[in-house]
Chain A
Amino acid sequence: MELPPIALQIILNFSIGLIVTISLNLEVGFLGIPQFGRLLAVIAGAIVAAAVPGRILAAFMGLPWGAEYAYHLYNFGIVAKINEVLASSPALSIGIFFLTLILAAAIGGVIGYLCAYPALRLREAYLGITLLAFGDLLMNIAWNYDPLVGGTTGVWVIDPFRFVGTGGTRFTFSALLILTIAIAVFLHAELLARSPYGRTLKAIRDAEIAASVYGKDIVKMRAHTLIIGGAIAALAGALWALFTGSMKANTYTRLTWTFWPWAFMMLGGTGNNLGVLLGVLLYTVARTVIILYKGALTAIIPIEPEWLEYIMIGLVIIIIALFRPQGIIPEKPVLTLPKSKIKTIAESLKEYQ
């Protein structure tokens, strides 16, 4: 089965966007941290995917795996050899795929934990700018330090999807797999929001002092949430690198991996996972429509579609901030139990009255 490229693009952009935005929403919507450094965990995940599994396999296969692995003259050959092996061994491919995801999530979690330090000391604008600086800093290091991920030349990333076939089949399979993971992440975040944990987060966000009076450990909750958020964001970075098959640090900008997810989140509804899903979906579809009708559009408005996209996102952010700060689907108190169950409880209580 093969899906047309345009459908693949929608599925992929939607899935990756959803994962990143869900992780952002967890920190911004539930915890109230101005996370302007989403890029940090995302690019860390991408670096893990580009640098680690390939090196492990290269070491086992007796290929160079040190600094020369990322050197642009060797890298393509090494990765091509690894991919040949991966193509013939589904078990190894699946194993290395999940290993990559686990490693990326672990690194993302560590980064989230490290971010907890400034998150406790600084507030609002200060914190936002610090996190933004961290993200750009890591991007800058990856862009310049060649032995890590090839610096300015970038590296090829091993392809754990090769075993299903090449070309369209491979892309269809991997896009659907990523969609599945995105849905799983969404469900996880939704369960988290409905759990006592999610309610505690919202309590801390809305009334920090009151929450601590009721014995909630705010420091620990903050650190936990940042760890989960970082892990999920790193997952998105790793998946993106694995899907595209290459990693170049400067394609990971704060614009695409921090500010756009912010726009999706604000559009859909901050603090509401379903809203986030809607925001990402709306944007992905709008973008694809713009690309599809590029020719017709430039005939009406003499603007390159690329710039139109910036203007559109900018306007969305402004309009949402001005007129509907709660987003399309405003945050609602979550029902932790099914409605029928609440009804039976209410009825059983009546007997005591």
Chain B
Amino acid sequence: MLDLIIKAVAYSSCIGIGAAAITLIYNTTRTFNFAHASMVSWGMYMVFTCTYLLSLTPYHSLPLAALFGSLLGLAIYITVNRRLLKVKAREITLMMSTLGADLVLYGFLNVFSDYLLKVYRLPAKYFVLETYDVFIRFGDTAIRLIGLVTPTLLALIVVLLHMFLTRTKLGIAMRASIENPELAELSGINIEMTYILAWLIGGALAGLSGGLLSLVITGYTAVGMTIVVSFFAGSIVGGLYSLYGSMFGGFLVGLSEYLGVALLSSIVGGWIYAYKPAIPLAIMAATLLIKPEGLAALLRGGRS
């Protein structure tokens, strides 16, 4: 049971971190980022590569994963997003363009994993890094480090983002340009800077959450495409307009996937386990249909 809870907490925190990335990019650039899927996968593969080739521990490879994620974000912004934002493209076009970026990233990720497999003979098609994890002893019980690191990181990111958005000039400028881009630009805020910043931070969060996930679930090239729905669900349950809401929403979605299923199975029987991937989808569809404003609206006492 403890194992399950730790895994659930670790997984949920990862989803929370990733969901914040989607929300941040959507709010600043109106772009619902489909490329998130492959950015997460790339984060996972970065940790995998560093662990195997540079013999770093997965934890030491995390900054590299985050850095790589932010580079991917920057690349997408410069090559695709920037031009489309300039011509004020529709939301659908923005979405589709990130889907194109996602497919390209996915293709290259597969090429990369083929390369690792052929040249370095690494098990790059399916890998489990859980064995690289460290156990921490509290008296009689041993807890996997990931169960402590991920929630701490999630909390840290909440605090850091909050500090950044409320205490620094750049953060305040960013919030201003989210609220009202035209007005922000008129008062001298370099709006392009905030776009770049959003993609950098969003990419870093996506890469980081992928890197952390490599210690929780099995890695394969399409892993991002499989679990991206959970990130979407987290972001949408959070309301798509609130960073904290999306982190909380992501955490809830992740928990319901692991603990919710475990709870349900004790009531209705073990067959429910097969439907685990359906849970984030169902939560997302229900939120969108019943309360599209999401959790954030509830937290603010109903006003949206």
Contacts and interface: CB of A to CB of B under 8 A. Distances in A.
B is bound to A:
yes
Interface string A18-42: 0000000000100000101000000
A130 interface: yes
B77 interface: no
Contact of B26 (A125, A306, A315): A125
Contacts of A137: 278, 281-282, 285
Contact of B97 (A133, A313, A317): A317
Contacts of B274: 144
Interface in A301-342: 303-304, 306-311, 313-318, 321-322, 325
Contact of A130 (B89, B107, B284): B284
A310 B38 CA distance: 12
B110 A304 contact: yes
Contacts of A259: 99, 103
Given A307-B110, A314-B103, A34 B95 contact: yes
A321 B93 contact: yes
Given A133-B284, A134-B285, A310-B104, A317 B95 contact: no
Interface in B230-281: 232-233, 236, 240, 274-275, 277-278, 281
Interface string A104-146: 0000000000000110011011101110111011001100100
Contacts of A308: 107
Contacts of B107: 307-311, 314
Interface residues of A, number: 43
Among B110, B240, B281, B284: residue with most chain A CB under 10 A: B281
B84 interface: yes
Nearest to B275: A144
A262 interface: yes
Contacts of A263: 100
B284 A140 contact: no
A128 B278 contact: no
Among B97, B233, B240, B289: residue with most chain A CB under 10 A: B97
Contact of A133 (B26, B79, B105, B229): B229
Contacts of A136: 229, 277, 281
Contacts of A325: 89, 93
A296 interface: no
B164 interface: no
A157 to B, nearest CB: 23
A35 to B, nearest CB: 10
A80 B199 CA distance: 56
Contacts of A310: 103-104, 106-107, 110
B170 interface: no
A141 to B, nearest CB: 7
Chain A contact surface mostly: helix
Contacts of B225: 255
B130 interface: no
Given A133-B229, A310-B110, A118 B96 contact: no
B134 to A, nearest CB: 35
A321 B232 CA distance: 23
A52 to B, nearest CB: 23
Given A130-B289, A310-B110, A140 B277 contact: yes
Given A129-B32, A310-B110, A121 B292 contact: yes
Contacts of B289: 117-118, 121, 130
Nearest to A265: B96
A144 B275 CA distance: 7
A129 B284 contact: yes
A303 B114 CA distance: 9
A126 B236 contact: yes
A314 B79 CA distance: 13
A126 B100 contact: no
Contacts of A36: 95
B186 interface: no
A309 B103 CA distance: 9
B292 A311 contact: no
A159 to B, nearest CB: 30
Contact of B292 (A122, A133, A262): A122
Closest 7 CB pairs of A and B: A317-B100, A314-B103, A311-B107, A314-B104, A310-B107, A318-B100, A144-B274
24 contacts: A122-B292, A125-B26, A126-B292, A128-B32, A129-B32, A129-B236, A133-B281, A136-B281, A137-B285, A140-B278, A144-B274, A255-B225, A262-B99, A307-B110, A310-B106, A310-B107, A310-B110, A311-B108, A314-B99, A314-B102, A314-B105, A318-B100, A318-B101, A321-B100
Given A129-B232, A259-B99, 4 more contacts: A126-B236, A141-B278, A263-B100, A266-B96
